Amino acid sequence: MKNQEKVQDLIDKRVQAKLGGGEKRIDSQHKKGKLTARERIDMLLDDGSFEELDMFVTHRCTNFGLEKEKYMGDGVVTGHGTIDGRIVFVFAQDFTVFGGSLSETMAQKICKVMDMAMKMGAPVIGINDSGGARIQEGVTSLAGYAEIFQRNILASGVVPQISAIYGPCAGGAVYSPALTDFILMTEDNSYMFVTGPKVVKSVTGEDISTEDLGGADVHARKSGVTHFKLVDEQEGAMLIRKLISYMPQNNLEEPPVYPTNDPIDRLEDSLNSIIPDNPNHPYDMKDVIHSIVDNGEFLEVHRHYARNIIIGFARFNGASTGIVANQPNFLAGVLDVDASRKAARFVRFCDAFNIPILTLVDVPGFLPGSGQEYAGIITNGAKLLFAYGEATIPKVTVTIRKSYGGAHDVMSCKQLRGDFNYAWPTAEIAVMGAAGAIEVLEGRTIAGITDPAEKAKYVTEKELEYKEKFANPYEAAAYGYIDDIIEPRNTRFRVIRAFEALQTKKVLNPPRKHSNMPL
Protein backbone atom coordinates (compact mmCIF):
# COMPACT_ATOMS: atom_id res chain seq x y z
CA MET A 1 0.00 0.00 0.00
CA LYS A 2 1.38 3.39 -0.96
CA ASN A 3 1.63 6.02 1.74
CA GLN A 4 -1.26 8.07 0.37
CA GLU A 5 -3.37 4.92 0.29
CA LYS A 6 -2.46 4.31 3.92
CA VAL A 7 -3.89 7.70 4.82
CA GLN A 8 -7.07 6.93 2.88
CA ASP A 9 -7.23 3.55 4.59
CA LEU A 10 -7.11 5.29 7.96
CA ILE A 11 -9.91 7.64 6.93
CA ASP A 12 -12.02 4.67 5.75
CA LYS A 13 -11.34 2.76 8.96
CA ARG A 14 -12.43 5.76 11.04
CA VAL A 15 -15.67 6.02 9.08
CA GLN A 16 -16.23 2.30 9.60
CA ALA A 17 -15.44 2.51 13.34
CA LYS A 18 -17.92 5.33 13.79
CA LEU A 19 -20.69 3.12 12.48
CA GLY A 20 -20.28 0.85 15.53
CA GLY A 21 -22.49 -2.21 15.02
CA GLY A 22 -23.73 -0.89 11.65
CA GLU A 23 -26.45 1.29 10.19
CA LYS A 24 -29.26 -1.18 10.82
CA ARG A 25 -28.56 -1.28 14.51
CA ILE A 26 -28.13 2.51 14.63
CA ASP A 27 -31.60 2.84 13.05
CA SER A 28 -33.01 0.45 15.60
CA GLN A 29 -31.46 2.50 18.39
CA HIS A 30 -33.02 5.68 16.97
CA LYS A 31 -36.39 3.97 16.62
CA LYS A 32 -36.37 3.26 20.34
CA GLY A 33 -35.94 7.01 20.91
CA LYS A 34 -32.31 6.51 21.93
CA LEU A 35 -29.18 8.19 20.59
CA THR A 36 -25.95 6.44 19.70
CA ALA A 37 -22.93 6.56 22.00
CA ARG A 38 -21.15 9.21 19.88
CA GLU A 39 -24.28 11.32 19.50
CA ARG A 40 -24.66 11.28 23.28
CA ILE A 41 -21.09 12.37 23.84
CA ASP A 42 -21.35 15.13 21.22
CA MET A 43 -24.47 16.49 22.87
CA LEU A 44 -22.82 16.46 26.29
CA LEU A 45 -19.48 18.09 25.55
CA ASP A 46 -18.49 21.52 24.23
CA ASP A 47 -18.77 21.59 20.44
CA GLY A 48 -15.89 19.82 18.74
CA SER A 49 -14.04 19.17 22.00
CA PHE A 50 -14.25 15.36 22.01
CA GLU A 51 -11.03 13.43 21.49
CA GLU A 52 -11.75 9.75 21.07
CA LEU A 53 -9.34 7.08 22.28
CA ASP A 54 -9.07 3.38 21.50
CA MET A 55 -11.20 3.51 18.39
CA PHE A 56 -9.36 0.51 16.95
CA VAL A 57 -9.68 -1.79 19.95
CA THR A 58 -11.44 -5.06 19.17
CA HIS A 59 -12.39 -7.98 21.40
CA ARG A 60 -10.20 -11.09 21.63
CA CYS A 61 -12.88 -13.67 22.33
CA THR A 62 -12.98 -16.85 20.26
CA ASN A 63 -15.90 -18.55 22.02
CA PHE A 64 -19.08 -19.27 20.06
CA GLY A 65 -17.38 -18.18 16.78
CA LEU A 66 -17.06 -14.64 18.04
CA GLU A 67 -13.68 -14.25 16.30
CA LYS A 68 -15.70 -13.83 13.08
CA GLU A 69 -17.64 -10.88 14.47
CA LYS A 70 -15.53 -7.91 15.42
CA TYR A 71 -16.34 -4.22 15.58
CA MET A 72 -13.81 -1.44 15.95
CA GLY A 73 -14.17 0.23 19.32
CA ASP A 74 -15.85 -2.86 20.80
CA GLY A 75 -19.02 -1.67 22.47
CA VAL A 76 -17.88 1.50 24.17
CA VAL A 77 -16.77 4.96 23.02
CA THR A 78 -14.20 6.56 25.31
CA GLY A 79 -12.14 9.73 25.47
CA HIS A 80 -12.05 13.24 26.83
CA GLY A 81 -13.47 16.64 26.03
CA THR A 82 -14.59 19.77 27.81
CA ILE A 83 -17.66 21.14 29.54
CA ASP A 84 -17.58 24.94 29.75
CA GLY A 85 -13.91 24.66 28.85
CA ARG A 86 -13.08 22.29 31.73
CA ILE A 87 -11.70 18.85 30.95
CA VAL A 88 -13.81 15.74 31.63
CA PHE A 89 -13.27 12.07 30.79
CA VAL A 90 -16.18 10.14 29.32
CA PHE A 91 -17.27 6.69 28.28
CA ALA A 92 -20.51 5.77 26.54
CA GLN A 93 -21.54 2.17 26.05
CA ASP A 94 -22.48 1.46 22.44
CA PHE A 95 -25.64 -0.64 22.35
CA THR A 96 -25.19 -1.26 18.60
CA VAL A 97 -22.22 -3.56 19.36
CA PHE A 98 -23.33 -6.76 21.12
CA GLY A 99 -25.95 -4.73 22.97
CA GLY A 100 -23.23 -2.67 24.69
CA SER A 101 -22.36 -5.82 26.66
CA LEU A 102 -19.13 -5.67 28.63
CA SER A 103 -16.13 -7.57 27.27
CA GLU A 104 -12.62 -7.80 28.66
CA THR A 105 -11.33 -5.22 26.16
CA MET A 106 -14.26 -2.90 26.73
CA ALA A 107 -13.56 -2.91 30.45
CA GLN A 108 -9.92 -2.09 29.68
CA LYS A 109 -11.03 0.91 27.62
CA ILE A 110 -13.23 2.20 30.44
CA CYS A 111 -10.49 1.64 33.01
CA LYS A 112 -8.03 3.53 30.84
CA VAL A 113 -10.10 6.73 30.88
CA MET A 114 -10.83 6.32 34.58
CA ASP A 115 -7.11 6.03 35.28
CA MET A 116 -6.45 9.12 33.18
CA ALA A 117 -9.16 11.05 35.02
CA MET A 118 -7.48 10.19 38.32
CA LYS A 119 -4.04 11.12 37.01
CA MET A 120 -5.29 14.44 35.65
CA GLY A 121 -7.74 15.16 38.47
CA ALA A 122 -10.82 15.49 36.27
CA PRO A 123 -14.44 14.25 36.52
CA VAL A 124 -15.59 10.99 34.92
CA ILE A 125 -18.96 10.78 33.20
CA GLY A 126 -20.23 7.33 32.23
CA ILE A 127 -23.18 6.74 29.92
CA ASN A 128 -24.68 3.30 30.45
CA ASP A 129 -26.73 1.39 27.88
CA SER A 130 -25.79 -2.26 28.06
CA GLY A 131 -27.03 -5.84 28.13
CA GLY A 132 -24.59 -6.57 30.98
CA ALA A 133 -21.72 -9.03 30.95
CA ARG A 134 -20.87 -10.26 27.44
CA ILE A 135 -22.21 -13.73 27.73
CA GLN A 136 -19.67 -15.29 25.30
CA GLU A 137 -16.74 -14.02 27.38
CA GLY A 138 -17.75 -15.52 30.70
CA VAL A 139 -15.56 -14.75 33.69
CA THR A 140 -13.27 -12.28 31.92
CA SER A 141 -16.30 -10.00 31.68
CA LEU A 142 -16.95 -10.37 35.42
CA ALA A 143 -13.31 -9.53 36.09
CA GLY A 144 -13.71 -6.48 33.85
CA TYR A 145 -16.62 -5.25 35.94
CA ALA A 146 -14.63 -5.69 39.11
CA GLU A 147 -11.73 -3.70 37.62
CA ILE A 148 -14.19 -0.84 36.99
CA PHE A 149 -15.72 -1.13 40.48
CA GLN A 150 -12.28 -0.92 42.07
CA ARG A 151 -11.55 2.27 40.16
CA ASN A 152 -14.96 3.74 41.08
CA ILE A 153 -14.10 3.12 44.72
CA LEU A 154 -10.63 4.66 44.58
CA ALA A 155 -11.90 7.66 42.62
CA SER A 156 -14.70 8.28 45.14
CA GLY A 157 -14.08 11.58 46.90
CA VAL A 158 -11.11 12.30 44.59
CA VAL A 159 -12.81 13.20 41.29
CA PRO A 160 -16.56 13.67 40.74
CA GLN A 161 -18.22 10.68 39.05
CA ILE A 162 -21.57 10.92 37.27
CA SER A 163 -23.56 8.06 35.70
CA ALA A 164 -26.27 8.49 33.11
CA ILE A 165 -28.51 5.47 32.51
CA TYR A 166 -29.96 5.66 29.01
CA GLY A 167 -30.91 2.01 28.48
CA PRO A 168 -30.68 -1.32 30.28
CA CYS A 169 -28.45 -1.60 33.33
CA ALA A 170 -28.99 -4.93 35.03
CA GLY A 171 -27.31 -7.51 37.24
CA GLY A 172 -23.98 -6.63 38.82
CA ALA A 173 -23.59 -3.89 36.21
CA VAL A 174 -25.74 -1.65 38.40
CA TYR A 175 -22.97 -1.42 40.95
CA SER A 176 -20.66 0.82 38.96
CA PRO A 177 -23.26 3.61 38.76
CA ALA A 178 -24.21 2.92 42.37
CA LEU A 179 -20.62 3.63 43.43
CA THR A 180 -20.60 7.01 41.67
CA ASP A 181 -21.77 10.36 43.06
CA PHE A 182 -24.85 11.03 40.94
CA ILE A 183 -27.14 8.90 38.79
CA LEU A 184 -29.51 10.16 36.08
CA MET A 185 -32.14 7.99 34.37
CA THR A 186 -34.35 8.67 31.35
CA GLU A 187 -38.06 8.06 31.88
CA ASP A 188 -38.87 5.87 28.90
CA ASN A 189 -35.87 3.73 28.03
CA SER A 190 -33.82 3.10 31.11
CA TYR A 191 -34.04 0.59 33.90
CA MET A 192 -31.82 -0.69 36.68
CA PHE A 193 -32.25 -3.87 38.71
CA VAL A 194 -30.16 -6.60 40.24
CA THR A 195 -32.48 -9.28 38.85
CA GLY A 196 -35.03 -8.77 36.07
CA PRO A 197 -38.79 -9.49 36.12
CA LYS A 198 -38.37 -13.08 34.83
CA VAL A 199 -36.00 -14.07 37.63
CA VAL A 200 -38.17 -12.28 40.17
CA LYS A 201 -41.19 -14.29 38.93
CA SER A 202 -39.36 -17.62 39.11
CA VAL A 203 -37.81 -17.00 42.53
CA THR A 204 -40.55 -15.18 44.42
CA GLY A 205 -43.63 -15.62 42.23
CA GLU A 206 -44.07 -11.84 42.02
CA ASP A 207 -45.44 -10.54 38.72
CA ILE A 208 -43.93 -7.18 37.98
CA SER A 209 -43.12 -5.15 34.90
CA THR A 210 -39.65 -3.89 34.00
CA GLU A 211 -40.86 -0.34 34.58
CA ASP A 212 -42.34 -1.06 38.01
CA LEU A 213 -39.28 -3.03 39.08
CA GLY A 214 -36.51 -0.70 37.99
CA GLY A 215 -37.75 2.22 35.90
CA ALA A 216 -36.68 5.81 36.44
CA ASP A 217 -39.84 6.67 38.34
CA VAL A 218 -39.50 3.99 41.01
CA HIS A 219 -35.82 4.73 41.48
CA ALA A 220 -36.51 8.47 41.72
CA ARG A 221 -39.43 8.15 44.15
CA LYS A 222 -39.13 4.88 46.06
CA SER A 223 -35.58 3.56 46.21
CA GLY A 224 -33.70 6.83 45.80
CA VAL A 225 -31.19 5.00 43.58
CA THR A 226 -31.40 7.72 40.93
CA HIS A 227 -30.88 11.37 41.80
CA PHE A 228 -32.51 12.68 38.64
CA LYS A 229 -35.38 11.50 36.43
CA LEU A 230 -35.17 12.88 32.89
CA VAL A 231 -37.71 13.39 30.16
CA ASP A 232 -35.07 12.59 27.54
CA GLU A 233 -31.35 12.43 26.83
CA GLN A 234 -31.22 16.11 25.81
CA GLU A 235 -32.34 17.05 29.29
CA GLY A 236 -29.68 14.67 30.64
CA ALA A 237 -26.88 16.40 28.73
CA MET A 238 -27.97 19.84 29.98
CA LEU A 239 -28.29 18.57 33.52
CA ILE A 240 -24.85 16.96 33.63
CA ARG A 241 -23.31 20.18 32.31
CA LYS A 242 -25.11 22.17 35.00
CA LEU A 243 -24.19 19.69 37.75
CA ILE A 244 -20.52 19.83 36.76
CA SER A 245 -20.63 23.65 36.98
CA TYR A 246 -21.10 23.42 40.76
CA MET A 247 -18.17 21.05 41.27
CA PRO A 248 -14.42 21.42 41.40
CA GLN A 249 -12.35 19.23 39.08
CA ASN A 250 -11.12 17.21 42.04
CA ASN A 251 -10.88 17.17 45.84
CA LEU A 252 -7.83 19.43 45.91
CA GLU A 253 -9.48 22.26 44.00
CA GLU A 254 -12.23 24.74 44.77
CA PRO A 255 -15.45 24.84 42.73
CA PRO A 256 -15.52 27.48 39.98
CA VAL A 257 -16.98 30.91 40.80
CA TYR A 258 -19.55 32.35 38.40
CA PRO A 259 -19.76 36.14 38.95
CA THR A 260 -23.31 37.37 39.42
CA ASN A 261 -25.22 40.63 38.99
CA ASP A 262 -27.53 39.73 41.84
CA PRO A 263 -26.68 42.25 44.62
CA ILE A 264 -25.29 40.59 47.70
CA ASP A 265 -27.30 42.92 49.97
CA ARG A 266 -30.60 42.33 48.18
CA LEU A 267 -33.40 42.48 50.78
CA GLU A 268 -36.26 40.04 50.33
CA ASP A 269 -39.16 41.67 52.18
CA SER A 270 -41.49 38.72 51.62
CA LEU A 271 -39.39 36.62 54.00
CA ASN A 272 -40.39 38.77 56.98
CA SER A 273 -43.93 37.46 56.65
CA ILE A 274 -43.46 33.99 55.11
CA ILE A 275 -43.82 32.09 58.41
CA PRO A 276 -47.50 31.49 59.29
CA ASP A 277 -48.62 32.59 62.77
CA ASN A 278 -49.93 29.12 63.47
CA PRO A 279 -46.84 26.93 63.98
CA ASN A 280 -48.74 23.93 62.61
CA HIS A 281 -49.27 25.59 59.24
CA PRO A 282 -46.78 24.79 56.49
CA TYR A 283 -45.01 27.01 53.96
CA ASP A 284 -42.76 26.11 51.08
CA MET A 285 -39.09 26.10 52.06
CA LYS A 286 -38.23 26.28 48.37
CA ASP A 287 -39.61 29.85 48.38
CA VAL A 288 -37.03 30.70 51.03
CA ILE A 289 -34.24 29.04 49.03
CA HIS A 290 -35.16 30.67 45.72
CA SER A 291 -35.37 34.10 47.28
CA ILE A 292 -31.92 34.08 48.88
CA VAL A 293 -29.66 32.38 46.28
CA ASP A 294 -28.10 34.10 43.25
CA ASN A 295 -30.79 34.85 40.65
CA GLY A 296 -33.17 32.39 42.28
CA GLU A 297 -31.32 29.47 40.64
CA PHE A 298 -31.40 26.19 42.56
CA LEU A 299 -30.47 22.77 41.14
CA GLU A 300 -32.45 20.35 43.24
CA VAL A 301 -31.05 16.85 43.70
CA HIS A 302 -33.30 13.87 44.59
CA ARG A 303 -36.38 16.01 43.94
CA HIS A 304 -38.84 13.14 44.10
CA TYR A 305 -37.32 11.17 46.98
CA ALA A 306 -37.81 11.88 50.72
CA ARG A 307 -39.44 15.20 49.95
CA ASN A 308 -39.43 16.16 53.64
CA ILE A 309 -35.85 17.25 53.13
CA ILE A 310 -34.50 19.34 50.26
CA ILE A 311 -30.95 19.06 48.93
CA GLY A 312 -29.28 20.73 45.98
CA PHE A 313 -26.82 23.25 44.63
CA ALA A 314 -26.99 27.02 44.34
CA ARG A 315 -24.60 29.96 44.41
CA PHE A 316 -24.06 32.80 46.84
CA ASN A 317 -22.22 35.73 45.26
CA GLY A 318 -21.09 33.31 42.57
CA ALA A 319 -19.73 30.66 44.94
CA SER A 320 -21.04 27.11 44.70
CA THR A 321 -22.97 26.06 47.82
CA GLY A 322 -24.76 22.89 48.86
CA ILE A 323 -28.13 23.48 50.49
CA VAL A 324 -29.81 21.13 52.95
CA ALA A 325 -33.24 22.26 54.16
CA ASN A 326 -36.17 20.68 55.98
CA GLN A 327 -39.40 21.01 53.99
CA PRO A 328 -42.37 21.85 56.26
CA ASN A 329 -44.62 21.43 53.22
CA PHE A 330 -44.14 17.64 53.23
CA LEU A 331 -44.61 15.49 56.36
CA ALA A 332 -44.06 18.72 58.33
CA GLY A 333 -40.36 18.48 57.50
CA VAL A 334 -39.85 15.57 59.89
CA LEU A 335 -36.59 13.59 59.76
CA ASP A 336 -37.08 9.94 58.84
CA VAL A 337 -34.89 7.12 57.52
CA ASP A 338 -35.00 8.20 53.87
CA ALA A 339 -34.50 11.91 54.56
CA SER A 340 -31.53 11.18 56.83
CA ARG A 341 -29.83 8.94 54.25
CA LYS A 342 -30.52 11.38 51.44
CA ALA A 343 -29.09 14.37 53.25
CA ALA A 344 -26.14 12.47 54.75
CA ARG A 345 -24.80 11.37 51.39
CA PHE A 346 -25.17 14.88 50.03
CA VAL A 347 -23.32 16.42 52.98
CA ARG A 348 -20.50 13.94 52.42
CA PHE A 349 -20.33 14.77 48.72
CA CYS A 350 -20.07 18.49 49.47
CA ASP A 351 -17.48 17.91 52.16
CA ALA A 352 -15.36 15.71 49.87
CA PHE A 353 -15.38 18.36 47.15
CA ASN A 354 -14.93 21.59 49.14
CA ILE A 355 -18.47 22.83 48.59
CA PRO A 356 -19.71 24.84 51.62
CA ILE A 357 -23.09 23.91 53.09
CA LEU A 358 -25.99 26.10 54.07
CA THR A 359 -28.50 24.34 56.32
CA LEU A 360 -32.02 25.77 56.68
CA VAL A 361 -33.78 24.30 59.67
CA ASP A 362 -37.48 23.79 60.29
CA VAL A 363 -37.77 20.34 61.82
CA PRO A 364 -40.33 19.15 64.37
CA GLY A 365 -38.16 16.11 65.25
CA PHE A 366 -37.68 12.52 64.17
CA LEU A 367 -40.69 10.60 62.85
CA PRO A 368 -41.92 8.35 65.68
CA GLY A 369 -43.24 4.80 65.36
CA SER A 370 -42.39 1.15 64.97
CA GLY A 371 -42.12 1.50 61.19
CA GLN A 372 -39.23 3.90 61.54
CA GLU A 373 -37.60 2.06 64.44
CA TYR A 374 -37.68 -1.25 62.55
CA ALA A 375 -36.29 0.47 59.46
CA GLY A 376 -33.36 1.61 61.59
CA ILE A 377 -33.99 5.29 62.22
CA ILE A 378 -31.32 5.08 64.92
CA THR A 379 -28.58 4.01 62.50
CA ASN A 380 -29.87 6.13 59.64
CA GLY A 381 -30.39 9.28 61.68
CA ALA A 382 -26.85 8.76 62.97
CA LYS A 383 -25.61 8.90 59.37
CA LEU A 384 -26.69 12.50 59.02
CA LEU A 385 -25.37 13.37 62.45
CA PHE A 386 -22.06 11.74 61.56
CA ALA A 387 -21.85 13.41 58.16
CA TYR A 388 -22.36 16.89 59.61
CA GLY A 389 -20.02 16.30 62.54
CA GLU A 390 -17.27 14.92 60.32
CA ALA A 391 -17.57 17.65 57.66
CA THR A 392 -14.81 20.26 57.70
CA ILE A 393 -16.10 22.55 54.93
CA PRO A 394 -17.67 25.91 55.89
CA LYS A 395 -21.05 25.28 57.50
CA VAL A 396 -23.66 28.00 57.98
CA THR A 397 -26.99 27.16 59.60
CA VAL A 398 -30.11 29.31 59.69
CA THR A 399 -32.94 28.14 61.93
CA ILE A 400 -36.11 29.35 60.28
CA ARG A 401 -38.70 27.93 62.63
CA LYS A 402 -38.78 24.63 64.54
CA SER A 403 -35.64 22.96 65.79
CA TYR A 404 -36.67 20.34 68.30
CA GLY A 405 -35.00 17.55 70.17
CA GLY A 406 -32.43 15.24 68.60
CA ALA A 407 -33.23 16.73 65.21
CA HIS A 408 -31.95 20.09 66.47
CA ASP A 409 -28.57 18.55 67.18
CA VAL A 410 -28.47 16.64 63.89
CA MET A 411 -29.22 19.64 61.66
CA SER A 412 -25.75 21.18 61.82
CA CYS A 413 -25.98 22.66 65.30
CA LYS A 414 -23.16 24.70 66.85
CA GLN A 415 -21.66 21.75 68.72
CA LEU A 416 -21.32 19.74 65.48
CA ARG A 417 -18.87 22.42 64.43
CA GLY A 418 -21.43 24.66 62.77
CA ASP A 419 -19.40 27.77 61.93
CA PHE A 420 -22.14 30.38 61.91
CA ASN A 421 -25.50 29.47 63.41
CA TYR A 422 -28.16 32.09 62.86
CA ALA A 423 -31.85 32.08 63.65
CA TRP A 424 -34.85 34.02 62.51
CA PRO A 425 -36.95 35.59 65.32
CA THR A 426 -39.59 32.96 64.44
CA ALA A 427 -37.27 30.13 65.56
CA GLU A 428 -38.35 27.67 68.23
CA ILE A 429 -35.36 25.83 69.68
CA ALA A 430 -36.28 23.41 72.45
CA VAL A 431 -36.22 19.81 73.63
CA MET A 432 -39.76 19.24 72.39
CA GLY A 433 -42.96 21.06 71.41
CA ALA A 434 -45.10 22.73 74.11
CA ALA A 435 -47.95 20.18 74.07
CA GLY A 436 -45.62 17.18 74.51
CA ALA A 437 -43.53 18.91 77.15
CA ILE A 438 -46.51 19.92 79.30
CA GLU A 439 -47.95 16.42 79.08
CA VAL A 440 -44.69 15.03 80.52
CA LEU A 441 -44.02 17.76 83.08
CA GLU A 442 -47.58 18.38 84.28
CA GLY A 443 -49.26 15.05 83.54
CA ARG A 444 -49.97 14.14 87.16
CA THR A 445 -51.35 17.60 88.04
CA ILE A 446 -53.48 17.70 84.90
CA ALA A 447 -54.90 14.25 85.67
CA GLY A 448 -55.89 15.49 89.12
CA ILE A 449 -58.07 18.33 87.75
CA THR A 450 -61.58 17.01 87.33
CA ASP A 451 -63.35 20.03 85.85
CA PRO A 452 -62.73 19.92 82.05
CA ALA A 453 -62.83 23.72 81.62
CA GLU A 454 -60.38 24.21 84.46
CA LYS A 455 -58.17 21.46 83.03
CA ALA A 456 -58.10 23.11 79.57
CA LYS A 457 -57.32 26.49 81.09
CA TYR A 458 -54.45 25.04 83.13
CA VAL A 459 -52.97 23.26 80.08
CA THR A 460 -53.21 26.41 77.94
CA GLU A 461 -51.54 28.51 80.59
CA LYS A 462 -48.72 26.04 81.08
CA GLU A 463 -48.17 25.65 77.32
CA LEU A 464 -48.00 29.41 76.92
CA GLU A 465 -45.49 29.63 79.73
CA TYR A 466 -43.36 26.93 78.08
CA LYS A 467 -43.60 28.57 74.66
CA GLU A 468 -42.53 31.93 76.03
CA LYS A 469 -39.55 30.40 77.74
CA PHE A 470 -38.42 27.94 75.07
CA ALA A 471 -40.21 28.38 71.73
CA ASN A 472 -37.92 31.19 70.64
CA PRO A 473 -34.28 31.63 69.64
CA TYR A 474 -33.25 33.85 72.54
CA GLU A 475 -32.65 31.06 75.06
CA ALA A 476 -30.17 29.39 72.65
CA ALA A 477 -28.66 32.78 71.76
CA ALA A 478 -28.15 33.53 75.47
CA TYR A 479 -25.87 30.49 75.62
CA GLY A 480 -24.05 31.48 72.39
CA TYR A 481 -25.41 28.39 70.61
CA ILE A 482 -26.98 30.80 68.13
CA ASP A 483 -24.50 33.43 66.95
CA ASP A 484 -27.09 36.01 65.97
CA ILE A 485 -30.80 36.44 65.43
CA ILE A 486 -31.28 37.94 62.01
CA GLU A 487 -34.04 39.76 60.18
CA PRO A 488 -35.46 37.26 57.67
CA ARG A 489 -35.37 39.66 54.72
CA ASN A 490 -31.63 40.15 55.26
CA THR A 491 -30.79 36.44 55.14
CA ARG A 492 -29.01 36.50 51.76
CA PHE A 493 -26.61 39.20 52.89
CA ARG A 494 -25.85 37.57 56.23
CA VAL A 495 -25.26 34.18 54.63
CA ILE A 496 -22.92 35.64 52.01
CA ARG A 497 -20.98 37.55 54.66
CA ALA A 498 -20.70 34.39 56.75
CA PHE A 499 -19.34 32.31 53.85
CA GLU A 500 -16.91 35.11 52.94
CA ALA A 501 -15.54 35.04 56.47
CA LEU A 502 -15.11 31.28 56.18
CA GLN A 503 -13.13 31.26 52.95
CA THR A 504 -9.86 30.56 54.72
CA LYS A 505 -11.32 28.03 57.16
CA LYS A 506 -8.99 25.15 57.92
CA VAL A 507 -10.07 22.28 60.14
CA LEU A 508 -8.51 18.83 60.12
CA ASN A 509 -9.99 15.66 61.57
CA PRO A 510 -7.70 13.40 63.61
CA PRO A 511 -5.47 11.14 61.51
CA ARG A 512 -6.94 7.66 61.01
CA LYS A 513 -7.30 5.06 58.29
CA HIS A 514 -10.94 6.03 57.85
CA SER A 515 -13.88 6.70 60.09
CA ASN A 516 -16.44 3.99 60.78
CA MET A 517 -19.66 5.83 60.09
CA PRO A 518 -22.92 3.95 60.80
CA LEU A 519 -23.84 2.36 57.46
Residues designated catalytic: 171-172, 406-407
How far is 506 from 349, CA to CA, in rounded Å? Answer: 18
Nearer to ligand HXC, 67 or 84 (CB): 67
Task: For residue 148, give every residue at least 6 positions away whose Cβ sits within 8 Å of its Cβ, in sequence order, or none.
Answer: 107, 110, 111, 114, 176
Of 214, 207, 149, the closest CA to residue 186 belongs to 214
First to last CA, the chain: 62
Of 193, 129, 198, 199, the closest CA to residue 165 belongs to 129
Pairing of strands 299-301, 309-316: antiparallel
Nearer to ligand HXC, 75 or 79 (CB): 75
CB of 71 to ligand HXC, least distance (A): 10
Are 316 and 495 in contact by the 8 Å Cβ rule? The answer is: yes
CB of 200 to ligand HXC, least distance (A): 14
CB of 54 to ligand HXC, least distance (A): 20
Query: In sequence order, what DSSP letters do the residues of 85-148 get, joined into one string?
Result: TEEEEEEEE-TTTGGG-B-HHHHHHHHHHHHHHHHHT--EEEEE---SB-GGGTHHHHHHHHHH
Are 293 and 314 in contact by the 8 Å Cβ rule? The answer is: yes
Nearer to ligand HXC, 41 or 107 (CB): 107
Are 102 and 79 in contact by the 8 Å Cβ rule? The answer is: no
Residue 138 dihedral angles phi and psi, to the nearest 5°? 60, -130
CB of 131 to ligand HXC, least distance (A): 2
For residue 28, give the amino acid letter: S
Nearer to ligand HXC, 77 or 301 (CB): 77
Helix (H, G, I), strand (E, B) or coil at 83: strand
Strand partners, 325: 310, 360
Nearer to ligand HXC, 131 or 328 (CB): 131
CB of 170 to ligand HXC, least distance (A): 6
Q: Which residues bind ligand HXC (CB under 6 A)?
A: 25, 98-99, 101, 131-135, 142, 145, 168, 170-173
Of 154, 164, 305, the closest CA to residue 243 belongs to 164
CB of 199 to ligand HXC, least distance (A): 9
Nearer to ligand HXC, 171 or 215 (CB): 171
Strand partners, 321: 314
